[in-house]
């Protein structure tokens, strides 16, 4: 008997707080996914890092042996200065000295990466004034960019998603949810083809030292606004039409970001995903003060209805004359 009561109470407790349990499982699954990613990245990349460290030590040792007049301390100071400049986007190599990081087209490309929160990190402000302006520019520009992208995506969604789905639903009589799923799949396929595969082929042709995988990797990292900065186009020493190339990349990033947001918004409007999201949300409940006001108003209305005098009582009170009634209810005079 006690086991039955306890099991029924547990089931009732779980059903009452179902969204809370779903949310806890969501948090647990997210942290497990983080740990899974850390394990995979560590196991894959750590051997390559160790191999690169060994190669650098071997090259450094060989260089010191071939140049005995140069001490290791002086070499360390030079390398430290060179790496510090490289972190700011300035290279000491002769073939990279012709490219400026802060001409107009490069600055335009930098501004687009700041406002889109991509932030490759290959070029950063050098002066204190530039750093201060970057903060002010980002504080005002990022919300402005979000407003701009939201307005653009909302207008595009009308023509790319809402009208096609409604037209097929009304003309062909198909289920609206089914049409929405097929449309979202086709839209995602077109977007991936036009903004991932095709640009990857173009980048692999224009960037001499990039293969297709590296080019596709750059497109994904850029349009997902991750922006690691390990691959940045237009930084080669023999890049032709570099200014025009930088402007084209800026346009590609902005258009690609808009298209990615349209695809994501299209998938978010699917009924299946809406139901999935509702599993983890808190249910909307009326505030206690609003319930109290409604109960008070209902009680006052009921009391008023009960206490309202009838028409006969109003007439008697107004005339001041008693109403004649027959004990049997059949007095002809009264009738």
Statement to judge: residues 2 and 105 lie in one domain:
no
Statement to judge: residues 48 and 106 lie in one domain:
no
- Whether residue 279 is contained in a domain is answered as yes
Distance CA 258, CA 156 (A): 9
pLDDT recorded at residue 95: 58
Instruction: Tell whether pTM > 0.75.
Output: no
Statement to judge: residues 243 and 193 lie in one domain:
yes
Statement to judge: residues 113 and 259 lie in one domain:
yes
pLDDT recorded at residue 321: 44
DSSP string, 124-172: ---SHHHHHHHHHHHHHHHHHHHHHHHHHHHHHHIIIIIHHHHHHHHHH
Residues 119, 253: contact at Cβ < 8 Å?
no
Number of domains in the chain: 2
Statement to judge: residues 116 and 247 lie in one domain:
yes
Statement to judge: residues 65 and 147 lie in one domain:
no
Residues 238, 222: contact at Cβ < 8 Å?
no
pLDDT recorded at residue 324: 44
Name the DSSP letter for residue 49. H
Statement to judge: residues 178 and 105 lie in one domain:
yes
Can you give the residue range of the structural domain that contains 43? 1-70
pLDDT along the chain (335 residues), means of 10: 56 72 90 95 92 90 86 85 78 65 86 88 85 94 94 94 91 89 95 96 89 94 88 76 87 94 92 83 64 51 46 44 46 41
């Amino acid at each position: 008997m006690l086991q039955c009561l306890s099991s029924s109470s547990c089931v009732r407790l779980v059903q009452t707080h179902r969204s809370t349990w779903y949310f806890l499982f969501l948090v647990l699954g997210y942290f497990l996914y983080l740990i899974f990613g850390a394990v995979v990245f560590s196991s894959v990349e750590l051997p390559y890092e160790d191999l690169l460290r060994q190669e650098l030590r071997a090259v450094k040792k060989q260089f010191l042996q071939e140049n005995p007049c140069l001490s290791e301390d002086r070499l360390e100071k030079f390398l430290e200065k060179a790496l510090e400049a490289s972190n700011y986007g300035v290279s000491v190599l002769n073939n990279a000295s012709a490219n400026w990081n802060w001409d107009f087209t490069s600055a335009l490309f930098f501004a687009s990466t700041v406002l889109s929160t991509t932030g490759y990190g290959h070029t950063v402000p050098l002066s204190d004034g530039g750093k201060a302006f970057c903060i002010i520019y980002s504080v005002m520009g990022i919300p402005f960019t979000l407003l701009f992208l939201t307005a653009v995506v909302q207008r595009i969604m009308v023509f790319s998603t809402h009208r096609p789905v409604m037209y097929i639903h009304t003309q062909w009589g198909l289920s609206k949810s089914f049409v929405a799923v097929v449309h979202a799949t086709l839209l995602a396929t077109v977007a991936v083809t036009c903004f991932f595969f095709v640009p990857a082929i173009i980048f692999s042709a224009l960037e001499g030292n990039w293969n297709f995988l590296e080019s596709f990797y750059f497109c994904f990292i850029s349009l997902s606004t991750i922006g690691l900065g390990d691959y940045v186009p237009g930084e080669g020493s023999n890049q032709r039409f570099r200014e025009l190339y930088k402007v084209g990349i800026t346009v590609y990033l902005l258009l690609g970001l808009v298209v990615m947001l349209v695809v994501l918004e299209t998938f978010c409007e699917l009924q299946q995903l809406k139901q999935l999201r509702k599993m983890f949300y808190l249910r909307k409940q009326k505030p206690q003060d609003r319930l109290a006001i409604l109960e008070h108003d209902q009680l006052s209305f009921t009391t008023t209805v009960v206490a309202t005098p009838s028409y006969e009582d109003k007439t008697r009170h107004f005339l001041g004359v008693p109403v004649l009634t027959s004990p049997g209810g059949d007095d002809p005079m009264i009738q």
